[in-house]
Structure 1
Amino acid sequence: MKTATPQMARAINDRLALDLLLEHGTLTAPQLRALTGLSRPTVSDLIERLRVNGLIAVVGESGEDRRGPNARVYGIVADRAHVAGVDVRRDTVDVTVADITGRTVGSATRPLKTARPLDTARPPKTARPLDTARPPKTARPLDTARPPKTARPLDTAGPLDAAGPAGAGRPPGAGRSVEPGRSGEPGDDLVTIIAGTVAEAAGHRSLHAVVVGAPGMVNPHSGELATDNGVPGWRPNLLQSLRHRIDAPVTLENEVNLAAVAEHRIGSARGRRDFVLLWLDDGVGAAVTLDGRLRRGASGGAGEVGTLGLRGGSFCDLVSTEFIEGLDRDSLAARIAEGAFASVAVLDPGLVVLGGETGRSGGDALAALVGERLAALSPVPTQVRPSTVEGNAILHGALLTALSIAHRDVFGEVPA
């Protein structure tokens, strides 16, 4: 067993204190001692270290109702770093910017007006049980969430491998301002629109990390999209172009994977080490989390369940919002359970979360029916829950991932 050196012990203690401040907002020295179990001299030393490094500051006093000197109240210096989460859909680009504590400080949305058929990356439709198609839903606004509780001192990347795919390293000059772009007018280059939306949301603030969520399979080695995703204007090597336009590290991630990050940190899978998020919307997919880490697969294709061939057609054609309007709940539950069974039989995750518009709107009633149908198909016990992430789960996940990157870089990564 490796013995912690004094330097390692200080790094662990400092990160523990910072994570507790992220969780609680503000704390006094006595409160830090009570929460960490550290001695008075040790807490005094770490507070002084964090103040000198510009990570925390005195934000007030407490104890006015008792005798003796008031206790200083400490908080994290919120503007030490800012991050951006980006959700690129087939009709809009949504951006939220937050400070290092997770507080939202800016947001922007721009439309993608260039027409392109919906979901051209899907396989040909082999079955269309209901001719009741409706247009895709536009993104809902982000419901600001408080920062995740990350008091554990050794999990600096967050529970779902928040550093993202390969190729997300910090380029020279990162942390400076974002180059503005034009508005989302027809014919604008997609890179220009994304960079412009990020710049609008950031305002005068420099960014430490930017995480972009988009449909499609992301190659975990190159970090680029491996297949066409149907987003107007998307082209090969778009990530590299974004990195030249946005003066901050930019990470690209599959949008369902990011929704799973949000579900794990602030939603129905909180506290679970293993689960599968089944995304049921105008597109259909899944995200796999095992032993607390997001699993992308050798080529980034883990969770691509939309192409599963089921009775009556592909899973995507049977449960996407385009084809289920008017379908009774029992029939819908049967279809969802049949698709979920493949993941349950192979992975035994113990929990399936129903996300996307269908999963959220179906609520507990649909989840219960899917659970009953799934139990009849598989002997493996599996809970089924609806998503409980408020607002745009993809944007939440992008922001949480970017925050984990900033926490690791600014607060320090605890030695293994």
Structure 2
Amino acid sequence: MNERNPAFVRGEMLPAREPPAGEMGLLKLLRKSLFNNWLSSILTVISLIVLVWIVRSTSPWLFDSVWNAHSLSECRQMLGVAEGACWAVIRDRWTQLLFGFYPPEQYWRPVLAFALMLLALSPVLFPPVPRRLLWFSAVFPGLAYWLIWGGTLWLPVTAYAGIAVGAVSLRLTARLGAGVGAGLAFIGALTWWFFASEPVTTMLGQLLPLSLAPVTSREVGGFLLSIVIGVTGISFSLPLGIVLALGRRSKMPLVKTLSVVFIEFIRGVPLITLLFTASLLLNYFLPPGTNFDLILRVIIMVTLFATAYMAEVIRGGLAALPRGQYEAAEALGLDYWKAQRLVIMPQALKISIPGIVNSFIGLFKDTTLVVFIGLLDPIALSNSIRATTNWQGIYWELFVFIGALFFIFCFGMSRYSMHLERRLRTDHR
């Protein structure tokens, strides 16, 4: 470089230097997230003041508490003039809140069913889990029924045999057309369940007795009942909602009319009305002598209710998809079902993830409505606990515990949906 022809490009690299203190670490986070401008700073200070006030107001009640007592009066004697919580009621009745009146010596059965449920859900929710475990996801519902309600193992086995009969019938009648084949497969499965399932179960039970001590539905309660109803409703409402959404968008007048009538009727009726229908009226439409379990009736009504809302959520995702995606599927030569499975539905479900998870969370919380038809959900059990002599007059501790458990499940679903949205993002902004 000389004075007449200065170089505008540096010939050597400068040593790396640390960024300014305000552009790294905690200071950067505070400045950009909490004190970005004057309005953000004011809101941050107000929020901190409110948070400190809440902590100071509730901390004595939460932490100056009693855990070892056998009654509310004993708790109050131990607290004296202090305003503390009586968590001893949770220590004394937590098994009842979780399992209802399930036999204590059989607690291992619902605990094992819950652990197996997590294993069954893992290949569905997390792609790194081997897909060969999906067979266990399909088998799990029958296994869970046997573990929780007991009885002979051959009952769920013969129920699955009916599905196998339907699948074989569908394969044998495939040449007759999809609609005719599906109808004959459905008739074949119903024929097996209504006429062959019971004698086959009895015969297999006599040849090879594999059974657990039976537990009646009146003994199943607490969070066990909420999880059974919620998980079953969630599992069945999504595929049924997909079918119903496609039916509402169908060009076949009969299919579209039936789908619209079902959706609008279910959405126009409160869930509590459907639960009373399941509890009181459904038996009038069944053959005399039919013993249709109340929990099963409730699961059916809750599933139908959630299906109607799920169909509208998925229909919104289908409507948001550009017309070009449908034309691209047609240009590839795909038929209707292949286009839906490979091109349309994956994108529609991705768009609908927030609405789907929101419906799942609402469904899980709505399981507490079964208290009005006499089922022993956590709210019903809290009422029975407060009606006893030892714990009469206690309120907040039970409801805080129940609310915290519901929050854990609902927050877990919310976080998983956020993880799923991040994993399926195709833009790189």
Relative contact order (alpha carbons < 8 A, sep ≥ 6): 1 or 2 greater? 1
What TM-score range do you get, normalising by the shorter chain?
A: under 0.3
Q: Which has the larger radius of gyration?
A: 2
Higher strand fraction: Structure 1 or Structure 2? Answer: 1
More helix by percentage: 2
Q: If the length of structure 1 is used for normalisation, what is the TM-score?
A: 0.25
